């Protein structure tokens, strides 16, 4: 079998045969990198494919739970529009035979849908999958931490919910909040009312002590895409440097690798109320880059989009570091990983 391939299938009009389960065979892990439909909807220029895609498991289907839509919510038939979330930027959804992607036709008539796929791993019947995506059916606003076992580092790339909210189609988003979590402190990186974070794959690195917490605003089926980034064993050293810190009075939080280590920061959050009116609120933290020579440059501010809506990849070492400025008592946080010395 090829390492990369495209699956194209017909879907009947809503009713019998209106969905397709994009499900790897046992022993294969896949990354879905793009989705498409033969029909699009919405106003000219801003049109998006007529397609829903959601993570499902055997357990969620047995409960008749709706898919946790990681790319799109339901179509607004009156406005003939889908939501733009999920169609901007890259796509990275990890699936296996136990947690897969269901593609649903939301057009009035039959359509064709397509998915491009990368085979990331093939393994034997007694070996574990590298995909750790999952689905949780929740009866209320229940905080749901996604915690790797000791000895494993995970990378979370997408989050979805069966319930969407926002300012209305086509700008709604999954109604779930995402927090970086460590030692009981939570730093907010995305929520259902603000677009920040939803227009690109997430890149949140997690281990057994630093992870992501997902909290829907109410009863919902939520889902997440994640993969084992590193399996160092119970006595190994994690490469995750995701952390949260309370901002001390009259000072800042410094993110500085020790001598001999190099880090990449992939996301930044803050527990304060986002700056700006929904749906364009941003984390209430200023990001500065500093060096040993005493130079400092502001890289991101809470009043401007720059840096908050695309891929974050700040490369740090002991002589080039990051400074986070926020109100005293706020919790700030970063996600990232290290290249071990």
Percent of the chain with pLDDT over 70: 95
Looking at per-residue confidence, does 77 or 254 come out higher? 254
Q: What is the pLDDT of residue 234?
A: 76
Question: Over 90: is that where the pLDDT of 26 sits?
Answer: yes
Residue range 153-172: mean pLDDT, rounded? 88
Say if residue 72's pLDDT is above 50: no
Nearest by Cα to 219 from 137, 324, 107: 137
Taking only the tens place, the pLDDT of each residue in 105-129 is: 888 899 999 999 999 999 998 999 9
Residues 33-48 pLDDT 10s: 999 999 987 777 778 8
| pLDDT per residue as tens digits for the range 76-108 | 433 445 778 888 778 999 999 999 999 988 888
For residue 175, the model assigns a pLDDT of 92
pLDDT of 73 > 90? The answer is no
What is the per-residue pLDDT across 192-214, written as a single tens digit (0 to 9) for each? Answer: 999 999 988 999 999 999 999 99
Q: What is the pLDDT of residue 92?
A: 93
More confident residue, 118 or 18: 118
Whether the predicted pLDDT of 328 surpasses 50: yes
> Where do the structural domains in the chain lie, given as residue ranges?
239-339
Report the mean per-residue pLDDT for the chain: 91
If one compares 87 and 219, the residue with the highest pLDDT of the two is 219
Q: Return the CATH number of the domain spanning residue range 239-339.
A: 2.60.120
Q: What is the pTM of this model?
A: 0.94
């Amino acid at each position: 079998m090829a390492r990369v391939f495209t699956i194209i299938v017909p879907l009947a009009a809503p009713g019998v045969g209106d969905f397709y389960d994009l499900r790897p065979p046992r022993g294969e892990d896949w990354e879905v990198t793009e989705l498409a439909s033969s029909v699009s909807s919405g106003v000219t220029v801003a049109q998006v494919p007529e397609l829903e895609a959601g993570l499902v498991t055997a357990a969620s289907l047995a409960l008749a739970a709706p898919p946790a839509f990681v790319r799109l919510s339901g179509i607004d038939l009156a406005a003939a529009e889908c939501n733009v979330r999920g169609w901007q930027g890259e796509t990275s959804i990890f699936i296996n035979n136990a947690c897969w992607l269901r593609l649903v036709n939301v057009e009035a008539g039959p359509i064709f849908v397509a998915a491009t796929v990368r085979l990331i791993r093939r393994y034997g019947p007694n070996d574990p999958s590298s995909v750790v995506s999952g689905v949780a059916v929740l009866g209320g606003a229940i905080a749901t931490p996604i915690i790797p076992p000791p000895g494993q580092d995970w990378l979370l790339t997408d989050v979805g919910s069966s319930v969407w909210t926002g300012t209305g189609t086509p700008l709604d988003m999954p109604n779930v909040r995402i927090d970086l979590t460590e030692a009981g402190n939570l730093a907010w990186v995305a929520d259902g009312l603000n677009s920040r974070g939803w227009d690109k794959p997430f890149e949140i690195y997690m281990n057994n002590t630093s992870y992501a917490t997902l909290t829907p605003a109410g009863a919902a089926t939520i889902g997440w895409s994640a993969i084992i980034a590193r399996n160092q064993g119970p006595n190994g050293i994690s490469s995750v440097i995701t952390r949260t810190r309370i901002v001390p009075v009259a000072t800042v939080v410094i993110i500085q690798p020790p001598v001999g280590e190099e880090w990449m920061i992939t996301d930044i959050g803050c527990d304060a109320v986002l700056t700006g009116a929904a749906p364009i609120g941003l984390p209430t933290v200023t990001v500065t880059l500093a060096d040993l020579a005493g130079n400092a440059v502001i890289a991101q501010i809470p009043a401007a989009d720059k840096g908050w809506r695309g891929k974050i990849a700040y490369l740090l070492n002991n002589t080039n570091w990051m400074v986070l400025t926020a109100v005293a008592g706020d919790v700030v946080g970063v996600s990232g990983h290290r290249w071990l010395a």
